[in-house]
């Protein structure tokens, strides 16, 4: 009897298993990529909000002020402006945002002349 050309059942099953493992790895890495992209988008929005706040507070003059705000994206912002004895205003703005179950944040600070 002559052997026929083709794949055995074991070879086909092994190929299917290897393809499944590769596809599962691709799906897992895609989920990580989406999660990190979302975290970077939120961080960018938080830093943009803090930068805008620093510019507005710096242009407002030499008045001590403090406050807080929360945006629609869930970004919490706390700021404080103090006037130093050297004739400078010290502006500090901290922002925090939630990424999944963790909270991340950043602090921007500057000193400007009165």
Dump pLDDT digits (tens) for 10-58.
999 999 999 999 999 999 999 999 999 999 999 999 999 999 999 999 8
Of the candidates 72, 112, 109, the one whose C-alpha atom is nearest the C-alpha of residue 94 is 109
The pLDDT value recorded for residue 1 is 61
pTM of the model: 0.72
Dump pLDDT digits (tens) for 65-82.
999 999 888 899 999 999
How far lies 14's CA from each of 26, 55, 57, 65, in Å? Answer: 19, 62, 65, 68
């Amino acid at each position: 009897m002559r052997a026929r050309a083709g794949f055995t059942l074991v070879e086909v099953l092994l190929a299917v298993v290897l393809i499944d493992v590769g596809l599962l790895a691709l799906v897992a890495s895609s989920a990580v990529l989406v999660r990190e992209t979302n975290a970077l988008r939120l961080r960018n929005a938080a830093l943009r909000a803090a930068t805008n706040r620093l510019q507005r507070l710096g242009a407002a003059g030499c008045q001590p002020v403090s406050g807080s705000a929360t945006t629609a994206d869930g970004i919490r912002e706390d700021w404080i402006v103090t006037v130093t004895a050297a004739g400078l205003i010290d502006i500090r703005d901290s922002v925090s945002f939630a990424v999944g179950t963790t909270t991340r944040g950043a602090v921007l600070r500057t000193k400007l002349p009165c």
